[in-house]
Amino acid sequence: MHNGTALPEFEPGGDKELAARFTRDAIPLLDGLYPRAVRMTHSRADAEDLLQETALKAFAGFHGVRDGSNLGGWLHQILRNTHISAHRKQQRRPTQWLTDDFTDAQVLAEARHSSTGLHSAEDQVLNLMADNDVSEAMTQLPEKLRIAVYYADVEGRRFREIAALTNAPIGTVMSRVRRGRHRLYTLLAEVARDQGYDLNDFA
């Protein structure tokens, strides 16, 4: 992502002006955070992942950023918080080795627990659901969103890889992953309510 990633070329209905402003103002700063991400993670691959999640979260909140804001400080805070959150999640669960003996359901469950792309309420709703509920919700996503979420959260692929596999710009991939995750949460939230869970507990 640090090699001059071009973000927007978003799906129809996206905010092109917002995407253009994000590319102009935020992407150069995000690229500049790569060395810091490497120092945090001690791994170039993990630094790439950290920057990807930071970019997704930053774009999701970018509509609230005004000209003259300390954009660099804001992005660094997102980077730091994302790293801390991922580190805490990693400490809470034992290391698992994926082998050919793992079922698709187990891989999906692992992705649900390891993904740093979801906010805490969304993460908790996902953790409530049985694997078949998640799989069923995945089938209800539009194909392009479903493929993007599967590659990102189940197979753990980076945006560049997904872009190459789907022949789509990286910005489009980011948009699909972000919107796919949100739609998946919305679908699962309905299932959770039907099963009697009070989602206000996660607000």
Query: How does pLDDT run across 83-136, given as a tens digit for each residue?
Result: 888 777 665 544 443 334 434 444 444 444 444 444 455 555 555 555 677 778
- pLDDT, averaged across the chain: 73
Domain boundary among 43, 62, 92: 92
Rounded to an integer, what distance in angstroms lies between the CA atom of residue 90 and that of residue 157? 18
**Do 150 and 197 belong together in one domain?**
yes
Percent pLDDT > 70 in the chain is 67
Report which of residues 105 and 38 the model is more confident about.
Answer: 38
Domain boundary among 92, 107, 137: 92
Is the per-residue pLDDT at 23 higher than 60?
Answer: yes
Of 125, 114, 5, 90, the C-alpha closest to 56 is 5
Q: Report, as an integer, the average pLDDT of 20-33.
A: 84
Q: What is the widest separation between alpha-carbon atoms in the chain?
A: 53
Q: Which domain holds residue 54?
A: 12-92
Q: Report, as an integer, the average pLDDT of 153-178.
A: 83
List the structure tokens of 112: 């649900």
DSSP reduced 3-state for 100: coil
Residue 166 has a pLDDT of 92
Rounded to an integer, what distance in angstroms lies between the CA atom of residue 85 and that of residue 165? 29
DSSP reduced 3-state for 160: helix
Q: CA of 101: how far to CAs of 93, 133, 173, in Å?
A: 20, 22, 30
Residue 186 has a pLDDT of 85
Q: Indicate whether this model's pTM tops 0.75.
A: no
In a domain, 79, yes or no: yes
Q: What are phi and psi of 50, to 5 degrees?
A: -60, -45
Domain boundary among 92, 111, 138: 92
Residue 91 has a pLDDT of 59
**Do 149 and 49 belong together in one domain?**
no
